Structure 1
């Protein structure tokens, strides 16, 4: 009974379904439908999952490949940069070592050769011409060039040493300066001159051709300047400089100092600018020489450096002479003194003159701004052969350069710009043929 009762409702339920338009429902049909439904859904999900997984895997692989590629590129770039950097450092180091070697004046390893570089003894003059920069000469070569330093070849002398005219093995005429053995100061001056002139190249600076340094000899080889020093010609009453030539020399000197102060990588203060350190070539073009006392200037505008007071009396700027504070304006003062020499024909200090006229700057400064007095200051050797308009301008430039206060002095570039039109106006005088004269022995190089 219980079993039939249990089946009866099921049978009635299954019997009533068609009447109610309902789905047939029994255990077998349910299982069959469920199985069909399950098998229809599962494959589509699996395919979707597989596709997504495959795409993800490909993306991950691509990302890994991209990362590895970028890392490899980064390492390669870094390696390349490191190589270039190290190569640049090595090159710079090599250049520095070469340069340091060029000025590392120690005893020669080859005493017989008489010079610092034993390896250079076999070089010919032709090989020298191919190389750039200053050259290293043997003492023996310089002996031959000067006929064993014959006194007949002396073209200058002083406390620094003796200058000889010599002919190098390639036929170049040169001025060969043999320095005295003056201890540390002389050695420093020798090093400074070689160091600076091997790096500074300007048509307004005397060119350093080479040097020789052995255990006790120190020699500098310069281009030969056949017309000696400016100082010699200013005070040479037999053949005085004309006005146009003086203006051109003033401009050449101004350009030399402008180059040192404003066109060099770091400003250079000459510290001993004077008429005896201005040399003249065959065309009476002026070039500045003697850099033994030169100092590198401060990077700051009007920056000062402290140093020993060295130089020549009459040319020293007052602030430098009293405190040892050196600036480029110290050279400007010295330039002003040389300009006064060109203007007046007087030496900076002359105790033979009447009282009040011993020191050129002290005597000239109050007169430079007075037109009547400035005319009376002009070198009598000019014999009024000059432009009074130019004279007033030159006097004004000189007055500014020798101002007691350094801040009131002009920059050399301003001096150059002021002189250029004056020199152009006198170009017809500058070409005077009477100054194309044979070599004149210089009292100092």
Structure 2
């Protein structure tokens, strides 16, 4: 628009300016004797003063001849001005035509590019509009709409040998994209209202979150009844597999376990304190805490997450995993951020004791880790004996007592007695070595009973 305005001004005022300039300079050339004097700008002189000066400096020239010469000169300059003005007007009109009629394709191409970017980005369109209920203002990331055939090739047509894990609504596959970049692809089958809701929640929420301790969603795909979610690949799998799988926690030292607990606390603290409105994960457990090649922990699986205050939590269908569900939510349907704190306490007990959250005592009888461990966690003489044998006698006992105290507070039956996740976070930082993200300085020590 600025260019068009400038062209318009030139079109209106340009010929007039040239005409004025030509009239001022349309006097006859001065005699040779005047050229030896310094040249001064002509624009400050009037036509009458120019004529007078010409008479003074050129004696012997007749006045009539001078006037005749001046008229002839003026005619020539006027003709030149008219021709120049006409040519300039034609050029400006041509330029104006070019800008008006060639600007439209440019704007259209820009609109097409913006439309293309929208398709590449987080654009679920009518699908998201139909089920969208989760709105939050965490940091926004970018989630790409991906091609089904590309993901089919990347997973070797969803071969069973590439399965990394199995969830409630489908399997997770290891995949290799065309640029030799490895990712994890979760395949959700079926079109039930519940699975659609979880898929929509996952894409909507993780598309807005970027945090080092929360899994990154790289893309998604909808193909008929199949829905795919593409995540960053976590090479060391889940905390559940590390603790309760074939290795039985042998790769997890005491300090690594504390690092994992701290990472999970940081991710949870981000959801509770830095998202607006706060996010309640509602399904925190060891299988939803994933570990990368350096054992950095990230919270995953946000299908059951809700935003605190966005809906009536008392009317939400009871969901979660046995052993991690807080008693007030299980019995009364009461759901708050303290429900996540309870689940975190159970994960902390798993890290300490190496036991599953629920274990079978008999075919029809189970016992939770909380019920079994609570009487011994507060007894300093018994606590060292129930620690996971893999890490037994490898930590400062003072640190062990402190972590056990945090776990006990997190799994209190009364939610008001549980700490905020921020308090948990700051209680763990001094127990984690500096190289793992804490403030603990490692010194040689011998575990003692004092």
User: What TM-score bracket applies, with the shorter chain setting the length?
Assistant: 0.5 to 0.7
Q: Distance in 1 between matches of 2:144 and 2:153?
A: 17
Alignment of 1:299-310 (within 5 A): 305-310=314-319
Aligned to 2:127: 105
Match of 1:190 among 183, 196, 199: 199
Aligned to 1:347: 356
Deviation digits for residues 339-374 of structure 1 (CA, Å, limit 9, x no counterpart) = 000000011110138999821111212222211122
Per the TM alignment, residue 427 of structure 1 is displaced from its structure 2 partner at its CA by 5.3
- Higher mean alpha-carbon deviation, 179-188 vs 202-211, is at 179-188
Aligned to 1:180: 189
- Higher mean alpha-carbon deviation, 348-357 vs 412-421, is at 348-357
Deviation digits for residues 154-182 of structure 1 (CA, Å, limit 9, x no counterpart) = 11123321111111233321000111215
Change (3 A) 1:352 1:220: same
Q: Distance in 2 between matches of 1:401 and 1:190?
A: 30
Aligned to 1:241: 252
Aligned to 1:266: 277
Alignment of 1:290-329 (within 5 A): 290-298=301-309, 305-329=314-338
State which structure, 1 or 2, has the greater radius of gyration over its C-alpha atoms. Answer: 1
Q: Distance in 2 between matches of 1:391 and 1:353?
A: 31
Whether 2:289 is the aligned partner of 1:278: answer yes
How many residue pairs match? The answer is 312
Q: Distance in 2 between matches of 1:337 and 1:192?
A: 25
Per the TM alignment, residue 132 of structure 1 is displaced from its structure 2 partner at its CA by 6.2
Aligned to 2:98: none
Whether 2:402 is the aligned partner of 1:374: answer no
Whether 2:250 is the aligned partner of 1:228: answer no
Per the TM alignment, residue 133 of structure 1 is displaced from its structure 2 partner at its CA by 0.3
Q: Which has the higher contact order (CA 8 A, sep 6+)?
A: 1
Aligned to 2:374: 365
TM-score by length of 2: 0.64
Whether 2:356 is the aligned partner of 1:334: answer no
SS of 2:317 mapped into structure 1: coil
Per the TM alignment, residue 286 of structure 1 is displaced from its structure 2 partner at its CA by 0.6
Q: Distance in 2 between matches of 1:165 and 1:282?
A: 15
Change (3 A) 1:228 1:369: same
Unaligned segments of structure 2, at least 5 residues: 1-114, 130-139, 443-450
Q: Distance in 2 between matches of 1:106 and 1:309?
A: 24
Match of 1:145 among 130, 150, 154: 154
Q: Distance in 1 between matches of 2:265 and 2:314?
A: 22
Unaligned segments of structure 1, at least 5 residues: 1-93, 108-130, 433-445
Root-mean-square deviation (CA, aligned residues, Å) is: 3.1
Whether 2:263 is the aligned partner of 1:252: answer yes
Q: Distance in 2 between matches of 1:382 and 1:357?
A: 26
State whether residues 103 and 191 of structure 1, in contact with CA within 8 Å, keep that contact through their aligned partners in structure 2: no
SS of 1:105 mapped into structure 2: helix
- Higher mean alpha-carbon deviation, 407-416 vs 142-151, is at 142-151
Change (3 A) 1:343 1:353: farther
Aligned to 1:383: 392
